[in-house]
């Protein structure tokens, strides 16, 4: 498995913990980091010593989503690009996935949670899906999974307006399982992961497969459709303006687009 200081991977007591560790850039995710995340999930899938995977960030930031500068300079150019490889590995991962979320969880920082089985949040968590504000469209199957989870109107509020929502709202919407003080979120995720790891793996795998089997082909199809739109929109004027504005620390101007 490829090692990286920005994606820490540690396995103990049958639990693989993957830590986003690029705090100075708010744990935004580069193509290289997506590659390491995919490698870690592939390794966990094939390793009998791993029964559960936990994602965590920093107590003040889960992830600011895709690295915008990286997207500007090296936009993913086909469906095998690292970001899309990660989405496929995540959405088809057969073993239980647990997440501990504190601070902002932006874009894929929120949509990846739709593929986790248990999500614990610090009371400082702030979820947001600013794809429209960036001239983009949803990814990770979120255009399907969010409306399924919370109904069209509430998903439209999250996806069309793109405004951040709190841990309390996320709990009410069914996106997370529990809210705790930020300093306790990682420990709670570890505790729940260890409980899962002590159970018969065959039962965990079969139960997760059965829970997801109706939706799995639809999710795979939607992720592919979103990848096609997202890849195209990344190169269009609205996204270029939004990304350039972010780099230049100004508000985007979509008036002429
Ligand atoms: N891509 C690239 N760099 C990012 C980033 C991202 N998604 N998010 C934050 N950073 C960088 C900033 O450019 C800044 O770098 P600098 O110190 O070199 O100027 C550093 O991380 C700190 O970010 P800052 O915005 O000052 O932190 P904050 O605490 O005020 O705000 C966020 C945190 C996450 C709310 C804010 O950074 C943000 O909204 N980021 C963009 C999120 C986004 O749109 N993601 C794309 C989703 S598809």
User: What are the distances in angstroms from CA 108 to CA 15, 87, 116?
Assistant: 23, 9, 12
Query: Token pair of 168, please?
Result: 């309390």
Query: Among 26, 58, 108, 226, which residue has the most ligand 1 atoms within 8 Å of its CB, making it the best to mutate?
Result: 26
pLDDT of the residue at 79: 84
Ligand 1, atom 1: closest residue by C-alpha? 67
Return d(Cα 158, Cα 177) in angstroms, integer. 19
SS3 state of residue 70: helix
Helix 82-91 with 31-46: angle, nearest 10 deg: 30
Ligand 1 center to 70 CA (angstroms): 12
Contact 94, 204 (CB under 8 A): no
Domain residue limits, the chain = 1-180+200-257
List the beta bridge partners of residue 121: 101, 179
pTM for this one? 0.97
Strands 97-101 vs 104-106: parallel, antiparallel or unpaired: unpaired
pLDDT of the residue at 2: 62
Q: Assign a CATH topology to domain 1-180+200-257.
A: 2-enoyl-CoA Hydratase; Chain A, domain 1 (3.90.226)
Mean local confidence (pLDDT), 211-225: 97
Ligand 1 center to 111 CA (angstroms): 17
Mean local confidence (pLDDT), 4-31: 98
**pLDDT, tens only, 196-211:** 999 999 999 999 999 9
């Amino acid at each position: 498995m490829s090692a990286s200081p920005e994606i820490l991977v540690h396995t103990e007591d049958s639990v693989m913990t993957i830590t986003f560790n690029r705090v100075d850039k708010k744990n935004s995710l580069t193509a290289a980091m997506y590659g390491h995340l995919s490698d870690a999930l592939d390794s966990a899938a094939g390793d009998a010593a791993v029964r559960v995977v936990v994602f965590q960030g920093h107590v003040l930031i889960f992830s600011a989503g895709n690295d915008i500068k990286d997207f500007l300079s090296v936009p993913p150019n086909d469906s095998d690009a690292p970001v899309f490889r990660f989405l496929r590995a995540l959405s088809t991962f057969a073993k239980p996935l647990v997440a501990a979320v504190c601070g902002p969880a932006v874009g894929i920082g929120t949509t990846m949670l739709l593929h986790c089985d248990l999500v614990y949040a610090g009371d400082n968590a702030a979820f947001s899906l600013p794809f429209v504000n960036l001239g983009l469209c949803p990814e990770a199957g979120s255009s399907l999974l969010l409306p399924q989870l919370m109904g069209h109107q509430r998903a439209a509020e999250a996806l069309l307006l793109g405004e951040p929502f709190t841990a309390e709202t996320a709990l009410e919407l069914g996106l997370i399982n529990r809210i705790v003080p930020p300093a306790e979120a990682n420990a709670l995720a570890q505790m729940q992961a260890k409980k899962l790891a002590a159970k018969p793996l065959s039962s965990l795998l079969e139960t997760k497969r059965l829970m997801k089997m109706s939706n799995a082909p639809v999710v795979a199809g939607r992720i592919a459709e979103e990848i096609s739109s997202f890849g195209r929109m990344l190169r269009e004027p609205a996204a270029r303006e939004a990304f350039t504005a972010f780099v230049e620390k100004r508000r985007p101007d979509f008036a002429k687009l």
